[in-house]
Amino acid sequence: MTTLGALYREALAAFQAASLPTPELDARWLVAEAASLPANAITLDPQRALAPETIAKARAFIARRLAGEPVDRILGNREFWSLAFRLGPATLSPRPDTETIVEACLAVLPDKQGAYRLLDLGTGTGAILVALLSERPQATGLGIDKAADAVAIARLNAEDNGVAARARFAEGDWMGDIAGAFDLIVSNPPYIPSPDIARLDREVREHDPRLALDGGEDGLDAYRAIAAAAPRVLAPGGILVFELGIGQEEDVAALMRSAGFTLLGPARRDLGGVARALVGRLG
Give CA–CA dist 225/230, Å, rounded. Answer: 8
145 is in an annotated binding site: yes
Rg, Å, the chain Cα set: 21
Q: Could you tell me where the beta strands, DSSP code E, fall in the chain? A: 77-80, 83-86, 117-121, 140-145, 167-171, 182-187, 234-243, 261-263, 268-269, 275-282
189 is in an annotated binding site: yes
188 is in an annotated binding site: yes
2 is in an annotated binding site: no
Give CA–CA dist 63/95, Å, rounded. Answer: 24
The closest alpha carbon to 18, from 207, 272, 203, 205, belongs to: 203
What residues contact residue 177 under an 8 Å CB cut-off, 6+ apart?
none
45 is in an annotated binding site: no
Contact status, residue 239 vs residue 184, Cβ threshold 8 Å: yes
3 is in an annotated binding site: no
At 12 the three-state DSSP class reads helix
Contact status, residue 91 vs residue 117, Cβ threshold 8 Å: no
Residue 227, amino acid? A
43 is in an annotated binding site: no
100 is in an annotated binding site: no
Contact status, residue 74 vs residue 64, Cβ threshold 8 Å: yes
124 is in an annotated binding site: yes
For the annotated binding site for S-adenosyl-L-methionine, the residues are 122-126, 145, 174, 188
For the annotated binding site, the residues are 122-126, 145, 174, 188-191
For the annotated binding site for substrate, the residues are 188-191
